[in-house]
């Protein structure tokens, strides 16, 4: 059996964990970059948890 090269589920789990940690760190603010422009999304941290699929 061949070794798996990329584990999509592992990647998504790690990214979700890191995104939620950043939301907690910045008290409900998430900063995103789209095409060189920054966008700030503000909402209660628990709302982000409901939006992110794992």
User: To the nearest whole percent, how much of the chain has pLDDT over 90?
Assistant: 2
> Residue 21 has what pLDDT?
87
| Distance between CA atoms of residues 43 and 23, nearest Å | 9
What's the predicted TM-score (pTM) here?
0.61
In this structure, what token pair is assigned to residue 24?
């907690």
> Residue 52 has what pLDDT?
66
Q: With the CA atoms of 19, 25, 29 and 30 taken in that order, what torsion angle do they form, in degrees rounded to the nearest 10? A: -30
Residue 14's alpha-carbon distances to 4, 8, 21, 50, 51, in angstroms, are 17, 10, 11, 17, 16
């Amino acid at each position: 059996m061949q070794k798996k090269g990329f584990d999509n589920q592992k990647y998504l789990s790690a990214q979700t964990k890191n995104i939620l940690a950043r939301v907690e760190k910045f008290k409900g603010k998430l900063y995103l970059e789209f095409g060189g422009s920054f966008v700030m999304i503000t909402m209660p941290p628990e709302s982000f948890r409901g939006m992110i699929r794992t």
